[in-house]
């Protein structure tokens, strides 16, 4: 009978395949990681600056906070759609070209948002803006899987994720400060300028990293080198018919839900409870969570690599890919549910500077916990289906995003109806349900993979 001790494959002579990861020097790999990390930073900044400026946008457009906050759910939906499209086409045309095709949409959308005079136009341009930069995460993970081998991948993904999460940490503060002291419109013009600089950087210094023979365009006759192919962007989602990939993706969605439950209504929870009305100060309240994400990603990435190496040595060279998921326990089982549950109780029952300080500590702890849970899952997906790393990351991002996208619009009504404490505790319970899915995947991963084979990687091809 199989058990969690049953490997995917035993280690054999894989030195021939490993040479593919020696195409770039260490310095070149570091530069490539830097460039794609900047591109991964963009969607985080674009998404984060919107939240604290909602009241000012609503005032300028003669709308309401509730209607303008629809832009949050729309942003998540645009990210889900865009990441599927850019990832699917990157398997045909390569990573570099998709960066160069996507970011111009960000530039146009940012200018459109800045010039919006109605809610309808704002939401349209906001969708285009997020659609354009949404490939930053999936394409970046794809590039990392192209140039880093199995035992280095978690650390590299951790660095990449932490760099992106810097944007999530500082962007709410920037958005709030801009709304309070400058102009939210000028901030979006700045994003357009940043996009132009990013295009120039990628054009001049980012090589194509896809493995030789892996791109569909390489199979097109030379005379048809400009052939425009139709690639089904939904094909990436078909990878999730694998029970292991689906379970870990849903688990990630339930864990990251806690971030949205804490952050989306922050002006109406911490802001109202502790009398904070200044948009810049409300934006500053996002900083502890983003700092926690940043630090947690750095530590979690290296930890997951350490777990892989440790358990592979314990099995005398046998690789069981679900071992990487063991690195999620600290975050998913303890830090996330405890921090969001405590924040709900503190907001309801503890006022003054002590309550505010403890709430900010909960935001930091939640950020660390979410990173500890999500980074090993993202690296695990790349491990088990390395040849389609960008596509599985896109499918993971899209489906994982649907959960908070659907819930984001319900958080404030839930707080108004049943209170902060109950709303936050429900989110804590859902995070524990997600960690239960991770436990089952670790325990029965071999059986779950055997149900549907979506082209899982072997140790020789990883």
CATH of the domain at 292: 1.20.1250.20
- Rounded mean pLDDT of the chain? 86
How many Cα atoms are found within 13 Å in the side-chain-facing hemisphere of 287? 13
Top-confidence residue, 310 or 279: 310
The reported pLDDT for the residue numbered 220 is 65
> Is the per-residue pLDDT at 10 higher than 50?
no
The answer to whether the CB of 333 falls within 8 A of the CB of 251 is: no
> The tokens of 45 are what?
């900044």
pLDDT band with cut points at 50, 70 and 90 for residue 13: very low
The reported pLDDT for the residue numbered 218 is 66
Task: Please check whether residue 214 lies inside any domain of the structure.
Answer: no
The reported pLDDT for the residue numbered 222 is 60
> Is the per-residue pLDDT at 3 higher than 60?
no
Top-confidence residue, 283 or 33: 33
Task: Please check whether residue 18 lies inside any domain of the structure.
Answer: no
Can you give the pTM of this predicted structure? 0.80
Q: Which of 49-53, 272-276, 345-349, 431-435 has the lowest mean pLDDT?
A: 49-53
Task: Please check whether residue 221 lies inside any domain of the structure.
Answer: no
Task: Please check whether residue 261 lies inside any domain of the structure.
Answer: yes
> Is the per-residue pLDDT at 322 higher than 80?
yes
The reported pLDDT for the residue numbered 14 is 52
Task: Please check whether residue 69 lies inside any domain of the structure.
Answer: yes
Task: Please check whether residue 427 lies inside any domain of the structure.
Answer: yes
DSSP string, 237-298: GGGGGSHHHHHHHHHHHHHHHHHHHHHTTTTTTHHHHTT---HHHHHHTTHHHHHHHHHHHH
The average pLDDT across 93-100 equals 92
Coil vs helix vs strand at 221: coil
Task: Please check whether residue 10 lies inside any domain of the structure.
Answer: no
Task: Please check whether residue 220 lies inside any domain of the structure.
Answer: no
pLDDT band with cut points at 50, 70 and 90 for residue 9: very low
The answer to whether the CB of 111 falls within 8 A of the CB of 192 is: yes
Q: Which residue has the tokens 């404030």?
A: 412
Q: In terms of residue numbers, what domain contains 309?
A: 24-206+232-461
How many folded domains does the chain comprise?
A: 1
The reported pLDDT for the residue numbered 130 is 92
The reported pLDDT for the residue numbered 227 is 60
The reported pLDDT for the residue numbered 210 is 86
> Is the per-residue pLDDT at 216 higher than 70?
no
């Amino acid at each position: 009978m199989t058990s969690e001790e049953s490997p995917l494959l035993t280690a054999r002579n894989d030195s021939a395949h490993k040479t593919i990861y020696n195409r770039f020097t260490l310095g070149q790999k570091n530069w490539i990681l830097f460039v794609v990390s900047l591109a991964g930073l963009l969607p985080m900044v674009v998404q984060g600056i919107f939240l604290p400026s909602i009241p000012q946008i609503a005032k300028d457009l003669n709308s309401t906070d509730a209607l303008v906050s629809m832009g949050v759910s729309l942003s998540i939906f645009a990210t889900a759609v865009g990441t599927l499209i850019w990832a699917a086409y990157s398997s045909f045309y390569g990573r570099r070209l998709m960066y160069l095709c996507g970011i111009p949409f960000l530039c146009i959308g940012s200018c459109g948002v800045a010039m919006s005079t109605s809610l309808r136009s704002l939401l349209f341009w906001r969708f285009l803006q997020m659609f354009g930069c949404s490939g930053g995460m999936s394409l970046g993970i794809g590039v990392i899987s192209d140039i880093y081998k199995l035992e280095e991948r978690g650390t590299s993904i951790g660095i990449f994720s932490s760099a992106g999460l810097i944007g999530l940490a500082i962007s709410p503060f920037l958005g709030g400060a801009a709304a309070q002291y400058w102009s939210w419109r000028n901030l979006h013009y700045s994003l357009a300028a940043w996009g132009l600089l990013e295009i120039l950087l990628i054009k001049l210094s980012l090589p194509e990293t896809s493995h030789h023979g892996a791109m569909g365009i390489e199979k097109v006759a030379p005379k048809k080198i400009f052939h425009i192919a139709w690639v089904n962007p939904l094909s990436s989602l078909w990878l999730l018919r694998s029970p292991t990939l689906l379970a870990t993706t849903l688990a990630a969605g339930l864990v990251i839900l806690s971030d949205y439950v804490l952050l989306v209504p922050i002006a109406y929870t911490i802001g109202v409870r502790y009398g904070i009305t200044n948009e810049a100060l409300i934006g500053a309240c996002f900083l502890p969570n983003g700092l926690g994400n940043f630090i947690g990603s750095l530590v979690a990435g290296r930890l997951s690599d350490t777990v892989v190496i440790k358990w592979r040595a314990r099995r005398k060279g046998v690789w069981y890919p679900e071992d990487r998921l063991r690195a999620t326990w600290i975050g998913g089982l303890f830090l996330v549910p405890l921090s969001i549950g405590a924040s709900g109780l503190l907001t309801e029952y503890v006022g003054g500077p002590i309550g505010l300080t403890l709430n900010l500590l909960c935001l930091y702890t939640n950020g660390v916990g979410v990173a500890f849970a999500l980074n090993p899952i993202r690296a695990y997906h790349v491990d088990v289906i390395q040849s389609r790393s960008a596509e599985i990351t896109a499918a993971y991002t899209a489906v994982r995003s649907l959960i908070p996208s659907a819930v984001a619009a319900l958080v404030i009504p839930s707080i108004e109806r049943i209170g902060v404490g109950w709303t936050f505790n429900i989110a804590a319970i859902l995070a524990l349900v997600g960690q239960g899915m991770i436990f089952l995947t670790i325990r029965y991963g071999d059986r779950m993979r055997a149900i549907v084979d979506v082209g899982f990687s072997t140790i020789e091809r990883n």
